[in-house]
């Protein structure tokens, strides 16, 4: 029950975009979505289904949680790609600076003052 209260509090803090389109669009056809809504509105007859009815309120929580995990993984991949690119650029810069230093040395050695 505490989690549901916290979820309600978080809902008030969502932006308008998150309230309107909080998650990725469903891949179900319209008639499939209607069937799913109808089934969810029916009173379950099996004991397990009745027990699961208590957790229907957590569906949005799990959707948000999964969306946050997906975004976290995407950010981790982007960070790793940027770290690799940064390392490559540092190597190129080091090679360039070594080349400049070598050129200056050659110039000094070939034309003494």
- DSSP code string of 45-67: -SHHHHHHHTTGGGHHHHHHHHH
**DSSP letter (8 states) at residue 112:** -
Q: Is residue 59 part of a domain?
A: yes
Residue at 2 is within a domain: no
For 37-79, how does the pLDDT look when each residue is reduced to its tens digit (9 = 90+)? 787 777 777 887 777 777 777 777 777 788 889 889 999 999 9
Residue 21 falls inside a structural domain: yes
In a domain, 38, yes or no: yes
Buried-exposed string 80-106: b where 16+ CB fall within 10 A, e elsewhere: eeeeeeeeeeeeeeeeeeeeeeeeeee
Q: Specify the higher pLDDT residue, 40 or 107.
A: 107
The answer to whether residue 19 is domain-embedded is yes
In a domain, 10, yes or no: no
Q: What is the pTM of this model?
A: 0.49
What's the mean pLDDT when you consider all of the chain? 80
Report whether pLDDT(22) > 70.
no
Token pair 């309120």 is found at 57
Q: Is residue 20 very low, low, confident or very high in pLDDT (cuts 50, 70, 90)? A: low
User: Is there a domain that residue 4 lies in?
Assistant: no
Total count of domains within the chain: 1
Q: What is the pLDDT of residue 79?
A: 97
Mean pLDDT value across residues 10-39: 71
Which residue range forms the structural domain that includes residue 82? Answer: 15-110
Residue 8 placed within a domain: no
CB 53 within 8 A of CB 44: yes
Q: How far apart are CA 106 and CA 84, in angstroms?
A: 33
């Amino acid at each position: 029950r505490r989690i549901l209260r916290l979820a309600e509090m978080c809902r008030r803090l969502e932006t308008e975009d998150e309230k309107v389109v909080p998650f990725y669009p469903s891949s179900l056809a319209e008639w499939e979505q209607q069937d799913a809504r109808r089934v969810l509105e029916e009173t379950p007859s099996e004991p397990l289904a009745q027990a699961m009815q208590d957790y229907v309120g957590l569906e949005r929580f799990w959707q948000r949680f999964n969306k946050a995990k997906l975004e976290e993984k995407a950010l981790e991949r982007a960070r790793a790609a940027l770290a690799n690119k940064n390392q490559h650029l540092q190597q190129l810069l080091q090679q360039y600076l070594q080349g400049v230093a070598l050129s200056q040395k050659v110039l000094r050695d070939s034309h003494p003052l």
